[in-house]
Structure 1
Amino acid sequence: MKKIIVAIDGLKFSRSATEYAVLVARETKGHLVGVFLEDFTYHSFSVYSLVPDEGSFEDIVRKREDEDRKVRDQAVRDFEDICRAAKVEYNVHRDENFARKQLLHESIYADLLIIDKTETMSHFDAEIPSDFMKEVLLNVECPVLLVPQDFEELENVVLLYDGEPSSVFAIKMFSSLFEGLNKPVEVLSVKSPDENLHLPDNRLMKEFMKRHYPKAVYTVLNGTPEVEIVEYLKNKNPNALIVLGAYRRNMVSRWFRNSMADVLMRELKTPLFIAHK
């Protein structure tokens, strides 16, 4: 049985993340853990914006903290209601610790982390991916499923493959976790305009795929990966689950080229499965 954890900000409950987590738990026959990130430094309000009206400043802060606690308690109840209705095994972890530290520690003991791709762990808006998400993705100890704000049933799976070991590793991790998932599978590659349209390591890759997804279809495009992949997925696979490899990059290369995961998070409204060694 797989252990699936879903990260939840109790002040901004993501029903979509919970619904995707329940779907994955059913598909993988896994045990679901709701990790409620109750960072003691994070509130729904800014202390500097509070204006005392009646009572002391401390009384007002205490009242707002009590309101936040009620919201978080309701989020836990909502999570439990969804799990019970879906008849999946679950439990809840609540810890008033630094959210990043808590989540990364939990990921050591999980087979998969599911999280809303718009998560910020802040009452401020932030671009996608937020600083919180970037740190989690760079340091997480298990594969991650990034999900959109709106839940949609999955129609197919697209495996992004560029001939690098990291992309094959991601496919291995995905097939191990989702071995019972019965959806059409496509392998998508992009090569430079002056290259042929053969799959990188064609014989070895197809031999490998035959053992995992014997009915997979293959698509090879010419162009710039960040452009061609986004365009192809928007037009051909609006409800696909996308699988891709390493998020980690050395700092020098990040100055010149965005992570593919960052681009897909911003441009697509589909779940992204990311795995790196």
Structure 2
Amino acid sequence: MSQIVSSGPSFSKILLGLDGSDYTQSATQYACQIASKHQAEITGMAIIDMPGIGSFGGPAPIGAIHYSKEAEKQRIEKAQEKAVKILQSFEETCKSENVNYNIHADTGRPFEEIVDESKYHDFIVVGQQTFFQYNPDGEPDETLDKLLTLGMTPILAVPDYTRDINRILVAYDDSVQSARSIQMFLMLNIWNQCEITILNVNDDKDKGLQLLKKLEGYFTSYGVGTQDLCCIKGDPSSEIMSQIQELSIDLLVMGAYGRNDIVKFFFGSVTQQILEQANIPVLLYH
């Protein structure tokens, strides 16, 4: 079998979601590290959630419409000021890191705007908690959840701090989503030189090992070696977390939802549990 040995990355444009949170700072650092190393370009995207601002507080009673409009105007102005500061900070970071960048500001529903812009990018970098939707209480929103179920590009979801990526765990459950995530991981060729362990959680060990051997051959066809093949019985989320801790994993690759989650919405899935507990970057695709 011939090998596909890639000499460089297979991507050129990164879409970075900027919401002004601590996760944004971390996501910016990760995106800049990748872009600097692989001569890629980052689009920093800030969004003003006009539908959320407009619906905040509900309908105004008769006689209070003027005050309601004034309050909405003030909310929009504050959101605009926040977006400007976010983009200025992004621009300063890119300049200091000598990274090529573009700035994109938009209004609308955050999820829809990100998906629309992602059509022209190879993957998205965003926080594992997102704060794009208008919410004065500062609670996390559902933007990442929607991107993972309905988006069209791979997502690197990152915690609120950065770390060097040297050891990678690839979780494979034989689902289409898991296979697609692995395909994108190999094709992007960002971390193909790292130490890679492939994990399959399977009550049928013979079947699990057979799947891992097939997948190892696929990695080999890209000229990518694997450190270990691991088949374990048990609960997928618990075993994945156990391997992350035992092997000091820096990056997890997995499907946005797996074989047992196909008929579920994102909440309650193995992926959701991992994102809440892992505290490391996770590369996801569906």
Same-fold status (TM-score > 0.5): yes
Superposed displacement of residue 215, structure 1: 4.2
Corresponding residue number in structure 2 for 1:7: 17
**Cα distance in structure 1, aligned partners of 2:171 and 2:262:** 24
Cα deviation digits, residues 77-116 of structure 1 (max 9, x gap): 1001111111111101111122121111112221101111
Distance 1:203 1:180, change over 3 A: closer
Corresponding residue number in structure 2 for 1:51: none
Distance 1:263 1:23, change over 3 A: same
- Within 5 A, what are the aligned runs for 1:230-249? 230-237=241-248, 239-247=249-257
Cα deviation digits, residues 236-274 of structure 1 (max 9, x gap): 32x51111124387988428x932211111111011111
- SS in structure 2 opposite 1:37? strand
**Cα distance in structure 2, aligned partners of 1:16 and 1:204:** 35
* Residue identity opposite 2:129 in structure 1: T
- SS in structure 1 opposite 2:209? coil
Cα deviation digits, residues 38-87 of structure 1 (max 9, x gap): 222345xx658xxxxxx966555544543332222111110011111111
**Cα distance in structure 1, aligned partners of 2:191 and 2:230:** 23
- Within 5 A, what are the aligned runs for 1:38-187? 38-42=48-52, 58-59=69-70, 61-122=72-133, 123=135, 124=137, 126=139, 130-179=141-190, 181-187=192-198
Distance 1:11 1:209, change over 3 A: closer
**Cα distance in structure 1, aligned partners of 2:69 and 2:105:** 25
TM-score, reference length from structure 2: 0.80
**Cα distance in structure 2, aligned partners of 1:47 and 1:12:** 27
**Cα distance in structure 1, aligned partners of 2:145 and 2:241:** 20
- SS in structure 1 opposite 2:264? helix
Distance 1:174 1:65, change over 3 A: same
What count of residue pairs does the alignment treat as equivalent? 266
Identity rate, percent:
21
- Within 5 A, what are the aligned runs for 1:184-223? 184-192=195-203, 195-196=205-206, 199-212=209-222, 213-223=224-234
- SS in structure 1 opposite 2:115? helix
- SS in structure 1 opposite 2:49? coil
* Residue identity opposite 1:221 in structure 2: I
Cα deviation digits, residues 107-132 of structure 1 (max 9, x gap): 222110111111042324557xx433
Superposed displacement of residue 11, structure 1: 7.5
Superposed displacement of residue 181, structure 1: 4.8
Contact 2:14 2:125 in 1 (8 A): yes
**Cα distance in structure 2, aligned partners of 1:244 and 1:38:** 31
**Cα distance in structure 2, aligned partners of 1:57 and 1:234:** 51
Distance 1:186 1:114, change over 3 A: same
Superposed displacement of residue 159, structure 1: 0.9
